[in-house]
Amino acid sequence: MDQETQTVDKTGLDDSSLSELIKKTGEGDPAAFAALYDGTSRLLFGLILRITAERTPAEEILLDVYTRIRKESAFYDPESLLPLEWIITAARACAVAKLDATREGRKRNLAPPGDNGGKMTVSPAMQKHARASLDSLAPQQKEFLDWAFYTGLSPSEIAVRIGKPAGAVKTHTRIGMSKLYELFRPLYGRETGTEAAAGDKRSVHEKPTEEIRESAALFSLGVLTQHEAVSFESHLREGCPVCETEYRKFRHITAEIGFAACEADAPDYIRELILARIEREPSAAGPEDKETPARIQAAPVSKPILTPPPAKGAGVFPWVLAVLFAAAAGFIFYLYHSGQKDKEGLASEMAAAQTEIKNLETLLDKKENGPVELEEIVSVVSRPETRIFHMAGLDPAPTASGAIVWDVQQNRCLVFGYIPPVSGKKAYQLWFLTSSNKNIPSGLLEPDPAGRVYDWFPIPEDISSLTMAITLEPEGGSKTPTLPYYAIGRND
């Protein structure tokens, strides 16, 4: 892969220094991570805020980004993307994936740019150049690029929101990306993407066409549909040097657009949380380890970068789960008050239910006071103010899943579902995450030997938006969360 020779510094820390910080972060050096966070977090937080338009999810994403950068920094390949391009790519991918995973996020529109008085402290030269380059584009080109970059929506989805033909969106996006490439190219000692290996496999192209450039531009932005993205990626793997060259050009430009985001003050608690973890676990994984984490790749949003973004429409699952749970509660209520109280009969009736519903039934059956629990949960979910939302497993426990029932009336919540059992002197702990940088410990989860969880927890006062996370702690619990998070659930 190509590495550009620069004629300007891209960060307050030059690329060599930033690469060294990433390397030392991968070796577990807390001072290096602190410098990396301090040197890049304002730009990343501003970028994420522009995508999410809300501070609380932006903080969650920033924590996730730096946690995983810390974990994956030992595997950073400077031949793939330049350091800050690599970090920007990761932040944008996580933020877009977060929006795709929620019902409200899928209804998103383009948020207005932030306003911090025009401060440019992370990479002044590149930030100024990126903003000037975008401002020089034709209005439609800039508008469509902003939509694609900051929302991750496909051209068809963008077209619906702004009332323009999808073909026009694609064309102006391609032209805008091509113009940006010409504007950014003088910053490099040589043209990007010119060293793609010659293809010697199946179908290859002899020269770039507008269609090829359009596909490469949209692929680098991560806004192709799932089918289109898979098709283009498969073609790249066949070894087409023309398409590979076009993609390499545009993947850098996609990252460079992020330099134009307005900076924002990043919360200090994220820095301190990760530094605390580094202090607890001074030895970091290295490239020689047999098991390596999923790496931040030089790839568009449609490919796995940190958290793999779901396919368009795949984020419906949390809300389907909530509906299924409510339906299951009504079904259980009917069975219970119809006199069908024996457990074998109930299990038989529920055999065709979805996995989460069946797990809940099994959990309830294991309780000595099963009928009481059944009546209690039915009573809670039947109240109009009760909130139900999905709990999703993260990288350390991707198979974890479940739901959280917020009993607003009694100010408590039920956590149920599955999380992998732990052995040794470890325990899962539940946390309430607040926008005021305060993480409130709630209690320890007690999964059964099969990993099933069914526990009630009190909710702290003055919490209107419920965000909960699960960490792995010493068996007695901890006063501060030990990252990474194993699962997270949120309700706005």
pLDDT digits (tens, 9 = 90+) for 258-279: 888 888 888 888 888 888 877 7
Q: Which residues span the domain enclosing 283? A: 15-312
- Residue 372, pLDDT score: 60
Say whether both 400 and 469 belong to one domain: yes
Tens-digit pLDDT profile for residues 432-485: 887 666 788 989 998 888 888 888 999 887 776 678 899 999 988 998 899 888
Q: With 80 as the cut, is the pLDDT of residue 299 above it?
A: no
How many other CB atoms sit within 10 Å of the CB of residue 392?
A: 19
Say whether both 326 and 308 belong to one domain: no
Record the pTM.
Answer: 0.57
Say whether both 183 and 320 belong to one domain: no
Boundary-marking domain end, from 312, 328, 346: 312
Percentage of the chain exceeding pLDDT 70: 70
Tens-digit pLDDT profile for residues 338-357: 444 444 444 444 444 444 44
Least confident of 30-44, 91-105, 231-245, 419-433: 91-105
Tens-digit pLDDT profile for residues 66-103: 988 888 888 888 877 888 889 999 899 989 988 887 76
Mean pLDDT for the chain overall: 75
Q: With 80 as the cut, is the pLDDT of residue 61 above it?
A: yes
Say whether both 290 and 347 belong to one domain: no
Q: Total structural domains in the chain?
A: 2
Boundary-marking domain end, from 285, 312, 339: 312
Say whether both 324 and 306 belong to one domain: no
123 within some domain:
yes
Contact by Cβ (8 Å): 391, 489? yes
Confidence of residue 128 (pLDDT cuts 50, 70, 90): confident
Contact by Cβ (8 Å): 474, 426? yes
Residue 480, strand partner residues:
none
Say whether both 263 and 333 belong to one domain: no
- Residue 165, pLDDT score: 93
Contact by Cβ (8 Å): 265, 224? no
Say whether both 308 and 359 belong to one domain: no
Tell me how far apart the alpha carbons of residues 194 and 252 are, in angstroms, rounded to a whole number: 13
Mean pLDDT of the region 147-162: 91
Task: Enumerate the H helices of 185-316 as residue ranges.
Answer: 210-221, 226-237, 241-257, 268-280
Tell me how far apart the alpha carbons of residues 96 and 303 are, in angstroms, rounded to a whole number: 12
Confidence of residue 184 (pLDDT cuts 50, 70, 90): confident
The residue among 280 and 116 whose pLDDT is bigger is 280
340 within some domain:
yes
The residue among 343 and 154 whose pLDDT is bigger is 154
Q: Which residue has the tokens 């150049």?
A: 129
258 within some domain:
yes
Q: Copy the structure tokens of residue 84.
A: 């800050």
Q: With 90 as the cut, is the pLDDT of residue 57 above it?
A: no
417 within some domain:
yes
Say whether both 224 and 276 belong to one domain: yes
Say whether both 254 and 400 belong to one domain: no
Say whether both 180 and 157 belong to one domain: yes
Confidence of residue 21 (pLDDT cuts 50, 70, 90): very high
The residue among 325 and 240 whose pLDDT is bigger is 240
Q: With 70 as the cut, is the pLDDT of residue 192 above it?
A: no
C-alpha separations of 381 from 323, 334, 376, 410 in Å:
11, 14, 9, 12
In what helix (H) or strand (E) does residue 141 lie, and over which residues does it extend?
A: helix 139-151
- Residue 436, pLDDT score: 64
Boundary-marking domain end, from 281, 312, 343: 312
- Residue 48, pLDDT score: 93
Say whether both 483 and 337 belong to one domain: yes
Percentage of the chain exceeding pLDDT 90: 20
Confidence of residue 323 (pLDDT cuts 50, 70, 90): very low
Q: With 70 as the cut, is the pLDDT of residue 195 above it?
A: no
Measured in degrees and rounded to the nearest 5, phi and psi for residue 412 equal -145, 165
Q: With 60 as the cut, is the pLDDT of residue 301 above it?
A: no
285 within some domain:
yes
Say whether both 296 and 321 belong to one domain: no
